[in-house]
Structures are given as structure tokens and as C-alpha cells.
Amino acid sequence: MDLFKQASWLFCQFPINRYLMSNAHGRQDGAEKAMRHIELCSFYVAAVKGLNSTEMAIRLHEDEFRAVHDKTQELTDYLDEAIGFPLDSRPDYETLAPLFFEKFHALALEALRVTTSQAAPATAGDASYSTQFEMTE
């Protein structure tokens, strides 16, 4: 089991659902949409960089934050195409939130140049396992 991915899902469920709601037909809220996108990007930067607070992500790692923000716009700008988000009817958040998370998680890690093997814990007894993430070159 990828514990980092599971922990990320647990943390990100609420902001993802709010993000999707802020995009729903008749409920569009640009301010909340922007706030939730920043919240999600900040989480990934803070987690990968080992920060104690997501609020420090932009200040201490602006380039990485911008990379995650820009890369994840491949998803956020095309929700209808990327996850089947309806443009003119009520979304099924229970179905769409996990789809959004899967894509957002992959794009965020790609932007931070973290491979899934680096984000996932090694099997029990693997002495080479480290709790720190390493950046790819």
C-alpha cells in the first residue's frame, strides 16, 4: 500500500470536494476555486519538502509551488475532458473526487519530480527505506 498516497487522499478529500463544488454549474465560485487549488498545491510542496506547515510552501519553495500549480492546471483547466466533470448538470462528487485525486496526485508528483517508488514506502525489512523524498534529476 502506498501510505503517502493514502495519507494524501485523506488530507485532500475535503479541499478536492470543495474545489469540484466551486466548479459546478450554478455554483461557480472563482475565489474558492483558486483558494482550494493553492491549498492542494501547497500540501504537496510541504509534504515533499518536509515542511511543518503548508503555509510555508509558497514562501520557501516558490519555484516548486509554481511548478505544481502550473502542471496541475492540465487537470483543473479541463475537468470535463480529464475526469468527465459535467458542465451543465449536477456532478457526482463521490465518483469524481477520487478521479480528480488520482490525476492531481500524479501531476503534482511529476511536477516535483518525485517518482511513485520514492513516494511509496518500501516493504517491511527493507533497510534502504528512507522517510525523506528524493528529487529526480
**Considering the domain boundaries, does residue 135 fall inside one?**
no
45 close to 122: Cβ distance less than 8 angstroms = no
**Considering the domain boundaries, does residue 129 fall inside one?**
no
Q: Is the confidence at residue 24, as pLDDT, over 60?
A: yes
**Considering the domain boundaries, does residue 124 fall inside one?**
no
pLDDT in tens, 28-72: 999 999 999 999 999 999 999 999 999 999 999 999 999 999 999
**Considering the domain boundaries, does residue 128 fall inside one?**
no
Counting the structural domains of the chain, the total is: 1
pTM of the model: 0.83
| Residue 41 belongs to domain spanning | 3-119
**Considering the domain boundaries, does residue 95 fall inside one?**
yes
pLDDT in tens, 124-133: 433 333 334 4
**Considering the domain boundaries, does residue 73 fall inside one?**
yes
Q: Is the confidence at residue 9, as pLDDT, over 80?
A: yes
